[in-house]
Amino acid sequence: MTKHLAVLISGSGSNLQAIIDAIAAGRLDAQIVVVVSNRREAFGLTRAEQAGIPTLYFPLKPYKESARSREQYDADLAAQVATYAPDLIVLAGWMHVLSPSFLDRFPGRVLNLHPALPGQFAGTHAIPAAYAAFQQGEIDHTGVMVHWVVPQVDAGPVLASVAVPIYPDDSLDDLETRMHQAEHRLLVEALAQIDR
Ligand code: GRF
């Protein structure tokens, strides 16, 4: 059954593009029903428009400026997303932590892509953190995971993960590039294995 996806982004949307390309190539039986960004300048919105996918720009700032709570933002965001009737919500570079006000609207249906292995380097800057840990000799590889989202950041049940090697002569850019390539593959594979 074709899965209807709502994809939430904050940045360049290269992972969104991986989903768009997989669907176009017939490698993923899904339809992206909306792309949501909290940042107007996110290039991912352009990618969605170029692919003819509906977009929703939903910034947090107006809530902060009018003393409305983060929970109110999350609840209103969930109500907006729900109008597109998604089967799955995919956080692909979405940089806000979502509270139960959002998550409770889509129980067991929110996935997050995180550029680290389970239990390692939660939060933002996971790739530089892994690079630094490698330089300190603390790890000899890192990885990427797709997990079900729970209120604790980057900590829900893992749907899929893959190790990503780090080499002694890697620059941070080399690792970033290798990690994003792994993300693009893993995200599509993880979505393809969900049969709902
Ligand atoms: C990815 O590394 C994702 O794992 C992280 O933010 C980045 C988003 O990249 N949360 P893009 O916007 O999909 O290119």
Taking CA atoms only, the protein residue closest to ligand 1 atom 5 is 93
Q: Which of 14, 32, 97, 120 to mutate to test the pocket of ligand 1 (most atoms within 8 A of CB)?
A: 14
Residues serving a catalytic function are 114
> Residue 35: is its pLDDT beyond 60?
yes
The total number of residues written for the chain in this structure:
196
Going by DSSP bridges, is the β-strand pair 158-165/141-148 parallel, antiparallel, or unpaired? antiparallel
Atom of ligand 1 nearest to the CA of 16: 13
Tokens coding 171 = 């620059």
Q: What is the pLDDT of residues 131-146, one digit of tens each?
A: 999 999 999 999 999 9
- What is the mean predicted confidence (pLDDT) over 24-53? 98
Q: Please report which helix (H) or strand (E) contains residue 31, including its range.
A: strand 30-37
- Asked if 112 contacts 156 with a C-beta cutoff of 8 angstroms, the reply is yes
**Ligand 1 contacts CB of residue 143 (under 6 A):** no
**Ligand 1 contacts CB of residue 114 (under 6 A):** yes
Within 8 A by CB and 6+ apart from 8, the residues are 35, 36, 37, 81, 89, 90, 91, 92, 94
**Ligand 1 contacts CB of residue 92 (under 6 A):** yes
Tokens coding 78 = 């969930």
> Residue 1: is its pLDDT beyond 90?
no
pLDDT band at 165 (very low <50, low <70, confident <90, very high): very high
Atom of ligand 1 nearest to the CA of 180: 2
Q: What is the pLDDT of residues 73-105, one digit of tens each?
A: 999 999 999 999 999 999 999 999 999 999 999
Domain boundaries, the chain: 3-192
Distance set, CA 160 to CA 44, 116, 122, 183 (Å): 23, 12, 16, 11
Atom of ligand 1 nearest to the CA of 179: 2
Taking CA atoms only, the protein residue closest to ligand 1 atom 6 is 93
- For the chain, the C-alpha Rg in angstroms (whole number) is 17
Tokens coding 152 = 């604790």
Q: What is the pLDDT of residue 196?
A: 55
Atom of ligand 1 nearest to the CA of 92: 13
3-192 folds as Rossmann fold (3.40.50)
Q: How far apart are CA 119 and CA 156, in angstroms?
A: 10
**Ligand 1 contacts CB of residue 181 (under 6 A):** no
Q: Give SS3 for 27.
A: coil
The pTM of the full predicted model, rounded to 2 decimals, is: 0.95
